[in-house]
Chain A
C-alpha cells in the first residue's frame, strides 16, 4: 500500500493513538520508579524513562496530526470512484495465518517441558510444514521424525545443550521401576 494512500493514513492514525496510550502507560509507570541518593546532582533512574514517555507522546501526536491533515487534503480526490476493497475475510487472511504461526510457537513453548525436546520439535516441524502447504501425511511424518532426529543430534549430542527430556524418564522409571 502507498505510504500516502487513505488506507495507510488511517493505519497511521490508529498506530498513533496506540502509541499515545503506550506513552501514557509507560510515563505513569515511570512515576513509580524510586529515586536513589547515589545519583547526587545527576539524573535519577526515572529521568530517562520520563523523557522517553514525553518524546513518544510528542512523536505519536505529530504522526496523528500529519496523517489527519493528509487524509483531510486527500478527501476531495477520495470522493472519486475507487476500486472496491476485497472482502474483510480476505484482508484479514495474512494476519490470521500469522496468528496461527504464533500459536504454534506458543504451544511449543508450553508443551516443551512435558513432551521433551525431541517430540516437541517433531510436532512443531509437522504442524508448521502442514500449515504451509505440505498436506501428504507420509512425507510429512518422515520430515518431522527425520528433522527431530537431526535437531536432537545437533543440539543435544553435538553442541551438548541440555534440552528438556519431558515426562518420559520419570514415567518409564515409575512404569518399569527403574531409578531415574
Chain B
C-alpha cells in the first residue's frame, strides 16, 4: 500500500476527517479565548480521546493545534489581547488595522495566509518525515537512551530562562517518572503504599494540571478581558492585497519551516522572527506597527507553518518542539504509538492517516474560519467568570471520566500547584513534561543497554547512532553554557558600569 492509500483508507473508513474538522473548530474556539493556548485546548481534549482509534485521536489533537493557531489571532487583532506568545507579534499591526476599521480585513489576511502556509507546512511534513523512516533499523536500546537524553538536553537549553532552571525542570520530570513499579525488576518505587501509584503517574494528569489548571490559578488574578466591539465581517484578501502581502507571507513561511523543525523553538520565536524579517525586507517598513497588512501576514504564516512542521521532530524522534507537541506526544504514547523512526515502519496506517487528517484540517480551516467567526466572537464576549468556571468544571469532569477515581483528581490539583509554583519561580514547564514523558524510555533503555553490554558503559560510544546523538546533546549544552556565561559576564559589566 502507498502512503496515499493509507491516508485514503483512514479518511474513508474511520472518523478521522470528522475528527480533523472537530479539532479545527475546538482549536478555533479555544484559541480565541485569551489565556487558553493551543496546548491547554489540547490538554482539555485528551481525556475524551481515551476510547478513540489512535489515528482519530491524534488527528483530533493535531487539528486542534491548527485551529488554535488561527483562533489566537482573533483576540490579538480585535481586542489587543494575544492569547499566546506566538500571537503577540500579530497584535502590533492587527490591532492597528482594527482601530482603523479594517479588523475584518486583518482577520481575512490571517485566515487566508494561515491556510496557505499551513498547506505548505503540511507538504514539508509529508516530504521530510517519510525520508526519516529509513533510519528505523539503525536504532537499538543505546540509541533510544541517547535520543531521550538529546530531547531533554535540547529542550532544557532552548526554552526560555536559564540553562540550570531548564535542567532542574527536566530532572523533576524524570523524578516523577520514577514513581511506580520499576520497568525492569518490578520493584515498587516512591509509591508510599498507595496502590494507585503502582502504575506510575499518568502524564495526562500532570499535563492537564501544569498547563490548564495552573493557568486558571493565574487568570483568577488577571483583570476582566476586553469585549469585542460590535460585529465583525471577515474579508478575505483580493489579488491586489495578495500581491502586497506575498513577500511577507513567504518570509513567514520560510522562517516557520526552519523554526518548526527545530526542537524547542516553537511558534513564538518563529512569529517574532518572521515579523522582524518582513519588516526589514519590506518597502513599506515605516508602515509596520501602524496597520501594515504584511505585519499580520508574516507572523500568521510563520505560526501556521509551524503547526505542521513542528510535527517533524515529534514524530521522527519523539522530541516535541513546543508545549502543544508535548501534549501531542503524550497523546501518542497514551494510544500506544511510540514516536521515533520505527513509527513509520510499524504503523504506516497511523502516520499516513494522520497526514490525511491534517490535510483535511488545513483545507477546512478556510471554510470553518469564516463559518465559526460569529460563535468565536460570541464566546470572546462572554463574561470571564463563566468561562473560567466552565473550563474548571470540564477539566474535573473529563479527568473523572477517565478513571472514576478521586485520587486522580487530587493528582491534577497537585500538578496544578507544581505548575503554579514553577511559573512563580520562572522555571520552564516544557522540560518537566518532556522528562516525564521520556523518563521511561531513558531509564529502560539505559538499563537494557547495560545488560546487553555486561555492564560496560562504552556501549553508548560504540553504538554509532548513540554516539552521534550524545555528541549533539553535548554540543547543545556546551553552546548554551557558553552563551549563558557570556550573557552573565555582560550583565555583570553593565551592573558595574551602572554602579
Name A residues whose Cβ lies closer than 8 Å to a Cβ of B: 3-4, 8, 11-12, 14-15, 19, 26, 29-30, 33-36, 38-49, 52, 55-56, 59-60, 62-63, 66, 70, 73-74, 76-77, 93-95, 97-98, 100-102, 104-106, 108-110, 112-113, 117, 121, 124-134, 143, 147, 151, 154-155, 159, 161-163
- Residues of B contacting A49 with CB < 8 Å? 175, 178, 189-190
Select B162's contact among A3, A98, A113, beta carbons within 8 Å: A3
Q: Does B211 contact A (CB under 8 A)?
A: no
Q: Give the interface SS of chain A, mostly helix, strand, loop or mixed.
A: helix
Select B168's contact among A26, A60, A76, A101, beta carbons within 8 Å: A60
Contact B221 A133 (CB under 8 A): no
- Residues of B contacting A66 with CB < 8 Å? 162, 164, 488
Name the residue on A nearest B498 (C-beta). A77
Select A45's contact among B172, B185, B406, B425, beta carbons within 8 Å: B185
Q: Does B97 contact A (CB under 8 A)?
A: no
Task: State the CA gap A134–B386 with chains docked (Å).
Answer: 8
- Residues of A contacting B388 with CB < 8 Å? 128-129, 132
Name the residue on B nearest A100 (C-beta). B220
Task: State the CA gap A20–B413 with chains docked (Å).
Answer: 24
Select A133's contact among B186, B224, B451, beta carbons within 8 Å: B224
Report B211 CB to chain A, min CB distance, Å: 15
Task: State the CA gap A4–B493 with chains docked (Å).
Answer: 13
Contact A113 B164 (CB under 8 A): no
Q: Give the interface SS of chain B, mostly helix, strand, loop or mixed.
A: helix
- Residues of A contacting B492 with CB < 8 Å? 70, 73
Q: Does B333 contact A (CB under 8 A)?
A: no
Task: State the CA gap A14–B185 with chains docked (Å).
Answer: 37
Counting from the closest, the 3 A-B pairs by CB-CB distance are: A36-B185, A41-B455, A128-B389
Question: Would you give the 0/1 interface string for B107-130, flagging 1 where the beta carbon is closer than 8 Å to chain A?
Answer: 000000000000000000000000
A42-B447, A42-B448 known; 5 other A-B pairs, CB under 8 Å?
A: A15-B425, A63-B164, A76-B495, A112-B400, A128-B393
Select B187's contact among A8, A34, A70, beta carbons within 8 Å: A34
Task: State the CA gap A127–B213 with chains docked (Å).
Answer: 16
Select B171's contact among A3, A59, A110, A129, beta carbons within 8 Å: A59
Name the residue on A nearest B213 (C-beta). A105
Known: A3-B162, A124-B392, A133-B383. A56 touches B175 (CB 8 A): yes
Name the residue on B nearest A120 (C-beta). B396
20 contacting pairs across A/B (C-beta < 8 A): A4-B491, A15-B425, A39-B447, A41-B450, A52-B175, A55-B171, A66-B488, A100-B220, A102-B413, A110-B406, A117-B400, A124-B392, A127-B389, A128-B393, A133-B384, A134-B383, A134-B385, A147-B390, A163-B400, A163-B404
Report B483 CB to chain A, min CB distance, Å: 14
- Residues of B contacting A43 with CB < 8 Å? 446-447, 450
Select B220's contact among A3, A117, A132, A159, beta carbons within 8 Å: A132
Name the residue on B nearest A122 (C-beta). B393
Contact B416 A102 (CB under 8 A): yes
Known: A15-B427, A43-B446, A102-B417. A128 touches B385 (CB 8 A): yes
Q: Does B401 contact A (CB under 8 A)?
A: yes
Q: Does B165 contact A (CB under 8 A)?
A: yes
Q: Does B174 contact A (CB under 8 A)?
A: yes
Contact B488 A70 (CB under 8 A): yes
CB interface residues, B 220-239, toward A, < 8 Å = 220-221, 224
- Residues of A contacting B482 with CB < 8 Å? none
Most chain B CB inside 10 Å of its own CB: which residue of A45, A55, A94, A133: A45
- Residues of A contacting B185 with CB < 8 Å? 35-36, 38-39, 44-45
CB interface residues, B 418-463, toward A, < 8 Å = 420, 424-427, 443, 446-448, 450-451, 454-455
Task: State the CA gap A105–B404 with chains docked (Å).
Answer: 16
Report B266 CB to chain A, min CB distance, Å: 19
Q: Does B278 contact A (CB under 8 A)?
A: no
Contact A113 B498 (CB under 8 A): no
Name the residue on B nearest A62 (C-beta). B164
Name the residue on A nearest B48 (C-beta). A159
Contact A63 B168 (CB under 8 A): yes
Select B409's contact among A45, A109, A128, beta carbons within 8 Å: A109
Report B192 CB to chain A, min CB distance, Å: 9
Known: A56-B175, A124-B392, A143-B389. A45 touches B187 (CB 8 A): yes
Q: Does B1 contact A (CB under 8 A)?
A: no
CB interface residues, B 337-362, toward A, < 8 Å = none
Q: Does B101 contact A (CB under 8 A)?
A: no
Contact B426 A3 (CB under 8 A): yes
